Structure 1
């Protein structure tokens, strides 16, 4: 920017942070972006110039790929130092990773929200918005990709997960936050590898993908039922990439017809490649044509797979992209 004042855009998508309790007792999105920013104590003292955009008023669970593509296009038009996106926590990890994949440049893009709506005691939205604005305005956060700021911790989109249904400390990541906000200062301690970039403008194909979580006793019947209804599949497997032996034939058939990503349902750690050798082990499944999701959790693997399929990427190219995600 030409002046020394930092400029940040706050874009509201709705979610708990924008919700208030209604007469029937249920909370719904009612607050605008202006309302959210006005409720942040101490913001004026930062000297940061904030512009607001009331983009959507939806629960996080109802956001779509088209909403987020339009959001990315809006972000590209903004002449600011950084962007804060506020939304429902249900899908923050998905929004953050999708934006990480379809946006370019060094400008910080920060996603945040709240676990307690504005009508509740101890509402966490204002503190999260303030920390997010500080992060978006900072030079320290440039080049980190899209991040999630929650509870004054800075999490890389690549690793962040919602790990609790109600706690204000619901967002965690493995191997841990890449930074934090303390005493009004943004401190970035680590920088993740650059994510692959996917050109959303070539996303002309309508596709359907899903995550299938294996459980003890699965016999492959439900996997077979998916074959005519999806264009790509992520298998959330046991441990380091294992499934019941009874599922092997169904997965072998599916892998011949579509890209099938092998991920671990544990939430952290890699899919192995050659440690185990029994039917249904990681080495057996990879030999049958499944694609390793590496350290991507199933939700993130599905976002990447979905975007690649939307842009017409073939199976060999999909395999190549997943091979560089570590």
Structure 2
């Protein structure tokens, strides 16, 4: 049962939704107070606003992620909190939301949102997305669904959502799954319940983030980036392979050199949907041979697999 003291916390971090070109196109100038003053009349739940930092999301670092994660963990201790909305830049929203999801399970809803069009463009979508995200965070049925992304009246699970268009307000999609719900006229509707995700990890300390690189396979790939990873002694490499997770046979020696040097190597499909194969093809560079070398076949996309590898490596290093 909720009371008048129960509220939704909105954490502003910058991004397009905070950009004011007439002030400074390079600076996310608008803060939480300015961004919420025009939407309060559309809300039926109290809100509190925090400006955690203001940055364009393409320039975020692991320090930003650490600060956001710690803040969200601490906020969960407030008994009056109904849920949290993270207002975020869309360029890396899918990546950051998934990272936060891996740190769960979260006892209260965590919802990411943002804008594809800043406040001075025609049909700016930020205010509507904020209202929908707040309604989603306040909805009792949102609990236990993991971290979500709310954009363009759709609710997406962080583990499936990707940014599928560079400019369209309907940019966010969940290939192979679709949205898990919608927000229309302030009403949040869910289409079903996802199976719970059991892959949860501890937050790394500020100085213990493993170095993991992402390498995408392309026709005629020279292997230069793989050899650079070996020379630079990274901790792990995620390879986005062709099809269901295949690499050119002429790069197998580079991959083998990485594994022999103690580098974790995962291969994921570079496709937008679908699972990696484990035992279908035995041709050189396909999954049977890769697994026999010590490569792990993992689900993509590569940037999300990279986040999983970082957190799994932290767990391994703690036990060493």
Q: TM-score, normalised by structure 2?
A: 0.91
Paired position in structure 2 for 1:33: 32
Distance 1:45 1:29, change over 3 A: closer
C-alpha contact 1:87 1:111 (8 A) present in aligned 2: yes
C-alpha contact 2:43 2:131 (8 A) present in aligned 1: no
For the residue of structure 2 that corresponds to 1:267, the secondary structure is coil
2:28, 2:42 → 1: CA distance?
A: 28
C-alpha contact 2:111 2:149 (8 A) present in aligned 1: yes
1:143, 1:23 → 2: CA distance?
A: 40
Distance apart, 1:314 and its partner CA: 8.3
Distance 1:111 1:220, change over 3 A: same
Paired position in structure 1 for 2:11: 11
Q: Is 1:60–2:57 an aligned residue pair? A: yes
Q: Is 1:153–2:154 an aligned residue pair? A: yes
Distance apart, 1:225 and its partner CA: 2.0
Q: TM-score, normalised by structure 1?
A: 0.90
Paired position in structure 2 for 1:323: none
Question: How many corresponding residue pairs?
Answer: 312
C-alpha contact 1:69 1:200 (8 A) present in aligned 2: yes
5 Å matches for 1:1-326?
Answer: 3=3, 6-22=6-22, 26=25, 28-40=27-39, 43-78=40-75, 79=78, 80-174=81-175, 175-192=177-194, 193-200=196-203, 204-229=207-232, 230-256=234-260, 257-293=262-298, 295-313=299-317
Distance apart, 1:48 and its partner CA: 0.4
C-alpha contact 2:14 2:28 (8 A) present in aligned 1: yes
C-alpha contact 2:213 2:229 (8 A) present in aligned 1: no
The C-alpha deviation readout for 1:154-196, integer Å capped at 9, x for no partner, is 1101000011111111110021111111221111223333241
The C-alpha deviation readout for 1:261-312, integer Å capped at 9, x for no partner, is 111111210010111111011221111111111x331010001111222344
The C-alpha deviation readout for 1:103-137, integer Å capped at 9, x for no partner, is 33331100011010111111100010000000000
Distance apart, 1:197 and its partner CA: 1.4
C-alpha contact 1:72 1:103 (8 A) present in aligned 2: no
C-alpha contact 1:234 1:301 (8 A) present in aligned 2: yes
- Aligned-pair Cα RMSD in Å: 2.1
Distance apart, 1:72 and its partner CA: 1.8
C-alpha contact 1:272 1:282 (8 A) present in aligned 2: yes
2:198, 2:280 → 1: CA distance?
A: 27
Distance 1:288 1:148, change over 3 A: same
For the residue of structure 2 that corresponds to 1:248, the secondary structure is helix
Paired position in structure 2 for 1:324: none
C-alpha contact 1:7 1:50 (8 A) present in aligned 2: yes
Give the unaligned 5+ runs of structure 2: none
For the residue of structure 2 that corresponds to 1:211, the secondary structure is strand
Q: Which moved more, 1:192-201 or 1:47-56?
A: 192-201
Distance apart, 1:210 and its partner CA: 1.3
